[in-house]
Amino acid sequence: MSNTDKRGPLQVARRARLLEQLQRDGVLRVSDLTDALGASTVTIRRDIAQLASEGLVRRVHGGVALPSGDDQRDSEDVFSGSIGMLVPSLDYYYPHVARGAEETARELDLRIVLRGSSYQTEDDRPQLNRLVDQGVDALIVAPRMDAPTAQQTIEWLAGLGMPVVLLERTATAGPHHAHLESVVSDHAQGAGMAVRHLAGLGHRKVGVVLAALSPTSPHIHRGWHEAVTELGLDVTGTVDEQVPDARTPDSKDALDKALDQALSTGTTALLVHADAEAIALVQRCEERHLSVPGDLSVIAYDDEVAGLFSPALTAVRPPRGSIGRAAVRLAADRLSDPQRPTHRIVISPALRIRDSAAAPNRP
């Protein structure tokens, strides 16, 4: 008995009707099948995924075709596809990721359908449903993992029956906690690189100042703590602070608190995430007649605009374009081989050495 025969009678009947229509028409769209078979988009996509894994059909942009490729009436759809991409911001960090994704998508004859969410959203599902209803063939998603609906969203993504790649996120789903495919920056390693650079310059107390609401901050903090501990530097007698967005009224007081701690503890260097907070901190140093890097060395984490500031800030640069490119390749590989093992890719950041870090003036 085949795998298909082991399924319920409704599924068997629905898939038989799908194959019958495909034999007649050659190429079918998901939207046509939902009407003809009286099933949801997600259900039809699961059927197509199963039939494709058995070699009975071939996925194409927005639908399904015969595996022989004899019917060329919709050649543009047969030889191209689309990937839905949902990111939490369209004005910081993720535009670079999206450009990398678009470059690789063009090389692979794919199209990116980009949508923006928000770090404040309570539920990513409405936006994701819209992408699925548009007929995309795969999803690349950076969901909000601290939202109350996060695990339900992950379970839903895992059961879609289409390739799903998580972007700068990792997650598991199902009773066996199977991993979803993902591409992430090794932010902990990037933080460690910054600490080691500062230690190499002679700094013995290296503190950290992190953007309070950034999902990247916990990874940077972990990398900072691991590196400081490994190098035998002082972990507790230094600066370890979170600060609000640099544009908020509370930012100045929070930065002053971090600088006061640096002075009182003898901290001579700070790793600061993100660029806006690092720039605001250096400007506050200037207002308080503290020189950078003379009195305090500063390394920024993100490198969006750190190099444009004066002094040009030494910075850790996450591999934003590479993250987008790798995510598209993962999705494309999954489309061509649905049975391949789950891949989780980790890409290293780079340290850009500029003018804001030097040997300490005081021990």
Q: Residue 311 carries which side chain, given as an amino acid letter? A: P
CA distance 325 to 83: 12
Beta strand spans in the chain (E) = 27-29, 58-60, 63-65, 81-87, 110-116, 138-141, 164-167, 172-173, 178-179, 181-185, 206-211, 240-243, 269-273, 297-301, 314-317, 344-347, 350-352
Q: Give per-residue pLDDT as tens, 65-88.
A: 888 544 443 433 333 689 999 999
Comparing 46-55, 134-143, 204-213, 335-344, which segment has the lowest mean pLDDT?
Answer: 46-55
Q: What are the b/e assignments for 316-328, b being 16+ CB within 10 Å?
A: bbbbbbbbbbbbb
What's the helix, strand, coil split of the chain in %, to 5? 40, 20, 40
**Residue showing tokens 């950078």:** 292
CA distance 327 to 331: 6
CB 187 within 8 A of CB 165: no
The mean pLDDT of 11-26, rounded to a whole number, is 87
CA distance 53 to 64: 13
Closest CA to 324 of 100, 93, 85: 100
- What tokens does 106 get? 């063009």
Pairing of strands 58-60, 63-65: antiparallel
Q: For the chain, give the number of residues.
A: 363
Q: What are the b/e assignments for 179-209, b being 16+ CB within 10 Å?
A: bbbbbbbbbbbbbbbbbbbbbebebbbbbbb
pLDDT at 46: 80
Mean model confidence pLDDT for the chain: 90
CA distance 60 to 39: 19
Query: Which of 9-13, 35-39, 72-76, 100-104 is the most confident on average?
Result: 100-104
Q: Does position 64 have pLDDT exceeding 50, yes or no?
A: yes
pLDDT at 2: 44
Distances (CA, A) of 97 to 190, 329, 335: 17, 13, 21
